[in-house]
Amino acid sequence: MMCVAVTLGAAATAPAHAQSFTYNRPASRPKPPPAAQTGQMLVQATEVNYDYNNSRVAAVGSVQMYYNGTSVEADKVIYDQKTKRLHAEGNVRMTDADGKITYANLLDLSDDYRDGFVDSLRVDTADATRMAATRAERTEGNYTVFQNGVYTACAACKDDPKKPPLWQVKGARIIHDQTEKMMYFEDARVEFFGVPLAYMPYFSTPDPTVKRKTGFLMPGFSQNTNFGYGIETPFYWAIAPDYDLTLSPRYTTRQGLLMQGEFRQRLMDGAYSIRAYGINQQDRTAFGAGSVSDKDWRGGVESKGQFAINDKWTWGWDAVALSDYNFLYDYRLAMYRDPYQSFLNLQTEAVSQLYLTGVGKRSFFDARTIHYTSFSGNQRQVPIIHPVVDYNNVLQQNILGGEFSYKFNFTSLTRQEAAFNSISSGGCDPTADAAQVRASCLLRGIPGTYTRFSAEAQWRRSFTDELGQIFTPFASVRVDAVDVSVSNQTGVPAFLSTGDTQALRVMPTVGLEYRYPFINVQPWGSTVIEPIAQVIIRPNESFAGRLPNEDAQSMNFDTSNLFSVNKFSGYDRIEGGGRANVGVQATTQFDRGGSIKVLFGQSYQLFGMNSFAVADLTNTGVASGLQNPRSDYVASVSYAPNRTYQFSTRARIDEATGNINRFEAEGRASFDRWSVSMLYGNYAPQAELGYLTRREGLLGTGSIKLADNWVVTGGARWNLVDNKIDQYMVGAGYVDDCFILALNYVTSYSYVANLSTPPVLSHTVMFQIGLRTLGGTQAGTGSNGQVY
């Protein structure tokens, strides 16, 4: 092997034997020597021949050449010092400074690689795209024209490299403009697995190195019974490196042109976006004559932003303003962003908020003001949150040998109109007498202004004696200051006094928790049985049931909150009176993997008033299983024999009758190619909350990996009471590094505030296709009707 340094621009004047030779073993992908960057062309070959008359240098046999950060490997390389042309032939491989590799049979270029041609070439780029052509011509260092070119972003098949890739684009000519960083395809065909499926006489796309480029994006298609067929052709404008604009006009056959635009900007400390919609409806009655959708002009504006003040503090906003609450739902604007969102819970509101968040080592702060835009038409019943502020902190140093923490909450809100729910088959009639209103209605939200400040300090410490018994004393004190102004609207006086009310609520608490773990070790594993007892002493809840309840309306008693000092979910209610919580927990760990955990317990009201037996505006707690002096039994069992299977059950059993008031069983399995989950739920009637009959159903989800990249997913809910499947989703998709294909069918429900009103069901079909580096598109169709 011979290594020769050739200085460009000067003829070789010394004989070959006078050159400096080194013998090295050839490398498969040699690293360019430093001299290759300094104007010298370094050549490594089996043989180097000089033609002094014609000023040519020919390298033959395993040639490796370096110049200006580019390496060329070939069977033979000839460099003409007069014309400054480089000619390579036989197993040519050229690697440029950007990592792009060109394979060819014949290569003829100028020594600066600006002009020339290549025959029978294949190009592999650093970002895993590939091109091939019968011939390519390069001019001015910027334009490369590929004759009979093929382009793909898919890797070659490992088992058969000659097999066509998943997708490729063939063109009579492919022009690559490196200055504009654009690729132009002429007489192009899109092929899948070698089969032509689409023809385009001309199209262009940014080259793979471009992350942002002005131009048209892939179109999208939609269909709905109310707005007809729609086609959406987005145009992306990369205005500057830090901001851009996307215009997405959607033409619909029944309603005309829906204009959409989104402006985005990234700043040094964050980013924000503004999105706007607007349409002058051709058929204003298409969504219902006399409805909120019955108007000429409809539209909306959305904005999002988030900025970092420093490494601990962040502030931002979400803002939504709509011409009417049905606009986003009617034109499926929110649904197309996330079709899976509607499988179990359709988005029922848009949120506008301004927030500030801070996170410390053991502290957290969050303040935000919120405005909800309801999609159900009950905007006057939706509160405006003036702000809600939360702060909690756990001191790093011990106090009296234990952990000390404190937290604050400030909430202020206003609602224009009372929000009632029906809890009887006859419906809710706020105009009836007070007794009938209380028997048939819940007051979910008060009309007027409600302000509350809460502060709580907590301390706890654990002791372990010589027998292994664990004693944990704890103490806390909470103070709530409430100011409420209730409007005198129909039906409201049946629940609470109207006008202005101020209240101060103080709840001191002391308690002791006792645990005594028994450990048994066997050859097959270990078992820990742990009796747990908790005694809590505190006064009665002040103003129980006589103050608004905005944030503590959810109440589900199970093993997860059996040993919670305050089992209410929010600040507006607080548990009072003496209480004892007892239970036993057993955990088994198997040496070969797997575990079983069982928890069983009950709660007792020892003295004082039982807060869960006091009905408030929303009847929270009265049907929870805690309303009696002796609570329902709660139990849970979880079993995981290995990483593949998981099983769990949760139950609440009536203490007096032994009937099951609430039962859930869930199983999950995950294998290499498929996974499945099944949830069974059985819930007794809760007339106090509006659930007049037993609810029972199955919810199943699953996915199957049919092949390496093919996945089929599905989910369904079977209402066992009505014996019908009332909600489901099915989908199939192909996903890999170069291609995305998905088809999904989703049912969506829209619920109104009154539980006795049937929900509205809509059907949506979504189709999505994406080609890496070329973009993607989606199509959707939907309809909606009444569920009976």
Q: What is the pLDDT of residues 589-601, one digit of tens each?
A: 998 889 999 999 9
Whole-number pLDDT of residue 335 = 46
Cα dihedral sign, 25-31-32-35: negative
Phi/psi at 379 (nearest 5 deg)? -60, -35
Whole-number pLDDT of residue 775 = 64
Residues 657-667, mean pLDDT to the nearest whole number: 95
Whole-number pLDDT of residue 3 = 54
Tell whether the model's pLDDT for residue 16 goes beyond 50.
no
Give the separation between CA 63 and CA 77, rounded to whole angstroms: 7
Residues 501-523, mean pLDDT to the nearest whole number: 95
Q: How buried is residue 720: exposed, middle or buried, by Cβ count under 10 Å (0-12/13-18/19+)?
A: middle
Whole-number pLDDT of residue 781 = 53
Tell whether the model's pLDDT for residue 573 goes beyond 50.
yes
Give the separation between CA 344 and CA 681, rounded to whole angstroms: 15
Tell whether the model's pLDDT for residue 9 goes beyond 50.
no
Whole-number pLDDT of residue 783 = 53
Tell whether the model's pLDDT for residue 7 goes beyond 70.
no
pLDDT band at 563 (very low <50, low <70, confident <90, very high): very high
Give the separation between CA 765 and CA 168, rounded to whole angstroms: 27
pLDDT band at 111 (very low <50, low <70, confident <90, very high): low
Whole-number pLDDT of residue 725 = 83
Whole-number pLDDT of residue 572 = 96
pLDDT band at 333 (very low <50, low <70, confident <90, very high): confident
Residue type at position 403: E
CB 96 within 8 A of CB 67: no
3-state SS of the chain: helix, strand, coil percent to 5? 5, 60, 35
CA dihedral 295, 296, 297, 299 (to 10 degrees): 50
pLDDT tens, position by position, 135-157: 888 887 678 888 888 888 887 77
Whole-number pLDDT of residue 760 = 59
Q: What is the pTM of this model?
A: 0.76
Residues 80-105, mean pLDDT to the nearest whole number: 83
Q: Which range among 152-166, 385-399, 718-732 shows the weakest confidence by mean pLDDT?
A: 152-166
Whole-number pLDDT of residue 334 = 62
Tell whether the model's pLDDT for residue 481 goes beyond 90.
yes
**Segment of 56-60, 426-430, 579-583 carrying the highest mean pLDDT:** 579-583
Give the separation between CA 148 and CA 170, rounded to whole angstroms: 7
Whole-number pLDDT of residue 347 = 63
Tell whether the model's pLDDT for residue 23 goes beyond 50.
no
CB 528 within 8 A of CB 587: yes
Tell whether the model's pLDDT for residue 477 goes beyond 70.
yes
Whole-number pLDDT of residue 690 = 86
Tell whether the model's pLDDT for residue 356 goes beyond 80.
yes
Give the separation between CA 71 and CA 29, rounded to whole angstroms: 9
Per-chain mean pLDDT for the chain: 84
The answer for residues whose C-beta is within 8 angstroms of residue 563's C-beta and 6 or more apart is 513, 532, 534, 581, 583, 601
pLDDT band at 343 (very low <50, low <70, confident <90, very high): very low
Tell whether the model's pLDDT for residue 339 goes beyond 80.
no
Whole-number pLDDT of residue 104 = 85
H/E stretch holding 440 reads helix 434-440
**Segment of 208-222, 316-330, 372-386, 474-488 carrying the highest mean pLDDT:** 474-488
Tell whether the model's pLDDT for residue 198 goes beyond 50.
yes
Tell whether the model's pLDDT for residue 749 goes beyond 50.
yes
pLDDT tens, position by position, 541-561: 999 989 999 999 988 999 999
Cα dihedral sign, 29-35-36-37: positive
Residues 17-25, mean pLDDT to the nearest whole number: 29
Other C-beta atoms closer than 10 Å to the C-beta of 290 total 7
Give the gyration radius of the chain's Cα atoms. 36
- 379 three-class SS: helix
Tell whether the model's pLDDT for residue 315 goes beyond 90.
yes
pLDDT tens, position by position, 763-779: 667 676 777 777 655 55
Give the separation between CA 536 and CA 513, rounded to whole angstroms: 9
Q: Which range among 152-161, 331-340, 405-414 shows the weakest confidence by mean pLDDT?
A: 331-340
pLDDT band at 583 (very low <50, low <70, confident <90, very high): very high
Tell whether the model's pLDDT for residue 363 goes beyond 60.
yes
CB 374 within 8 A of CB 348: yes
pLDDT band at 673 (very low <50, low <70, confident <90, very high): confident
Q: How buried is residue 27: exposed, middle or buried, by Cβ count under 10 Å (0-12/13-18/19+)?
A: exposed
Q: Classify each residue of 268-283 as buried b or exposed e, where b means 16 or more C-beta atoms within 10 Å of its C-beta.
A: eeeebbbbebbbebee
- 491 three-class SS: coil
Tell whether the model's pLDDT for residue 713 goes beyond 50.
yes
Q: What percent of the chain has pLDDT over 70?
A: 88
pLDDT band at 30 (very low <50, low <70, confident <90, very high): very low
The DSSP letter of residue 576 is -
Tell whether the model's pLDDT for residue 579 goes beyond 90.
yes
